[in-house]
């Protein structure tokens, strides 16, 4: 059986592994101590806290199909509420359906406006755990395995790890972020992947604050609040009413609110978790009548995590893929093929299909 190495154990890499497993010998190499990449749910004291992605676009067919193939279709869950608030001139007001995305400047296709998102009952990590469980014993998964380079070799392609070990396979799927892939491929593909090393990205810091229900003097009858651009302070762009938006995200009598910041590089470097939690409390109190200190705060930092698909970067991906086309090396993930979970899953599926179409699984 042919061997496929997948570098990156986020949702794209794991989807590719799941689709290839059984037809090929699959090794997943993940740099972090655990799988999931930008998907990480923390269950703590009755709260379900999304440190990264909280859901996927409603129109997605790929994610529900994957969930069904993993035997977990019943775990899918929609939003409990649909209306959103805006904060701007005149304070809070209910937004028209679809207006929230425009407020935030998201590139949302018209068909998706106002549809909201779906998620899994116990958080997005359920999907990662299901993939991990399905791969256990059928694929080799190594966390803490940091790839340093990917090069064509006589057997197909070779991945070198930071411990100097070399791993040969018939095909390698690079399912990392764009700059990571550029570093991995640069020794052999140089200029052709240079555009990936300049991938435009946005950073994100989110702070989830937990309160007693009585501390928040608002109905919390919506998905949350988006802050109009000229009313944003400290980069705070939105606040999700997590415990209202999705069922079972907080224990009875408590609520959780998630603040989304777009930090500057300097803020990312200088502010510690306490400083972010303080800003989050100040920010939420500007928007909502919130009394007293939060019960808890969870700060999640995501430097350069979110890809921005402008024309130049899209062309850079095309150039890199053209250079790789005659080698058994495939790019996968939302860094290359569109933002978000749905795009990442579809990209993982496409990478697996590309491997199969090359006859690697015969």
- Which residues of this chain interact with ligand FAD, rule CB under 6 A? 7-13, 29-32, 37-39, 52-56, 117, 146-147, 175-177, 180, 204, 206, 302, 305-306, 333-335, 339-341, 344
CB of 257 to ligand FAD, least distance (A): 15
The least CB distance from residue 186 to ligand FAD, in Å, is 12
Q: Residue 117 or residue 171: which is nearer to ligand FAD going by CB?
A: 117
- Separation CA 222–CA 144 (nearest Å): 40
Roughly what angle, to the nearest 10 degrees, separates helices 62-69 and 341-357?
70
Burial readout 321-354 (b: 16 or more C-beta within 10 A, e: otherwise):
bebbeebbbbbbbbbbbbbbbbbbbbbbbbbbeb
Dihedral sign computed on CA atoms, order 55, 59, 63, 68: positive
CB of 81 or CB of 215, closer to ligand FAD: 81
* Nearest approach, Cβ of residue 121 and ligand FAD (Å): 16
**Closer CB to ligand FAD, 59 or 93, in the complex:** 59
| Residues forming a β-bridge with 300 | 206
Structure tokens given for 88: 């701007």
Nearest 10 degrees: CA dihedral of 11, 16, 22, 27? Answer: -80
Alpha-helix residue ranges (DSSP H) falling in the chain = 11-20, 62-69, 99-104, 125-135, 178-189, 194-197, 242-245, 265-270, 273-287, 311-324, 334-337, 341-357
Residue (165 or 291) nearer to ligand FAD, CB:
165
- The residue among 10 and 86 lying less far from ligand FAD, judged by its C-beta, is 10
Smallest separation (angstroms) from ligand FAD to the CB of 1:
23
CA 275 to chain CA mean position, Å: 24
Closest CA to 244 of 265, 219, 261: 219
- Min CB(329)–ligand FAD separation in Å: 14
The nearest distance, CB 91 to ligand FAD, in angstroms, is 26
Q: Closer CB to ligand FAD, residue 194 or residue 305?
A: 305
Identity of the residue, 1 or 247, whose beta carbon is nearer to ligand FAD in the bound complex: 247
Q: How far is the CB of 305 from ligand FAD (least distance, A)?
A: 4
Between CA 298 and CA 276 the distance in angstroms is 10
278 versus 304: smaller Cβ distance to ligand FAD: 304
Q: Which helix (H) or strand (E) holds 57?
A: strand 56-57
CB of 143 to ligand FAD, least distance (A): 9
Three-class DSSP category at 123: coil
């Amino acid at each position: 059986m042919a061997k496929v190495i997948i570098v990156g154990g986020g949702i794209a890499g794991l989807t590719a592994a799941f689709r290839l497993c059984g037809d090929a010998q699959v090794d997943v190499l993940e740099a972090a101590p655990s799988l999931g990449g930008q998907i990480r749910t923390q269950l703590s004291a009755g709260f379900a806290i999304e440190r990264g992605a909280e859901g996927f676009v409603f129109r997605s067919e790929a994610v529900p199909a994957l969930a069904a193939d993993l035997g977990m279709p019943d775990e899918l869950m929609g939003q409990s509420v649909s209306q959103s608030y805006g904060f701007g001139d005149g304070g809070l007001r209910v937004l028209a359906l679809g207006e929230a995305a425009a407020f935030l400047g998201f590139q949302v296709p018209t068909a998706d406006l106002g549809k909201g998102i779906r998620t899994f009952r116990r958080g997005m990590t359920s999907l990662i755990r299901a993939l991990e469980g399905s791969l256990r014993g059928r694929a080799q998964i190594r966390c803490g395995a940091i790839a340093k380079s990917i090069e064509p070799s006589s057997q197909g392609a070779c991945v070198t790890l930071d411990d100097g070990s070399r791993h040969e396979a018939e095909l390698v799927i690079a399912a990392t972020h764009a700059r990571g892939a550029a570093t991995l491929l640069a020794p052999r593909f140089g200029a052709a992947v240079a555009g990936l090393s300049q991938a435009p990205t946005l950073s994100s810091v989110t702070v989830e604050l937990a309160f007693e229900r009585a501390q928040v003097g608002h109905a919390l009858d919506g998905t949350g609040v988006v802050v109009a651009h000229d009313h944003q302070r400290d980069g705070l762009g939105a606040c999700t009413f997590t415990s209202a938006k999705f069922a079972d995200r907080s224990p009875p009598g408590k609520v959780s609110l998630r603040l989304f910041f777009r930090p500057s590089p300097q803020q990312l470097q200088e502010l510690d978790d306490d400083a972010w939690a303080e800003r989050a409390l100040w920010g939420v109190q500007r928007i909502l009548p919130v009394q007293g200190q939060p019960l808890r705060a969870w700060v999640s930092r995501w430097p350069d995590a979110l890809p921005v698909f402008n024309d130049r970067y899209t062309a850079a991906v095309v150039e890199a893929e053209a250079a790789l086309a005659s080698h058994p090396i495939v790019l996968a993930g939302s860094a290359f093929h569109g933002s978000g979970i749905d795009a990442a899953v579809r990209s993982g599926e496409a990478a697996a299909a590309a491997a199969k179409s090359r006859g690697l699984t015969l």
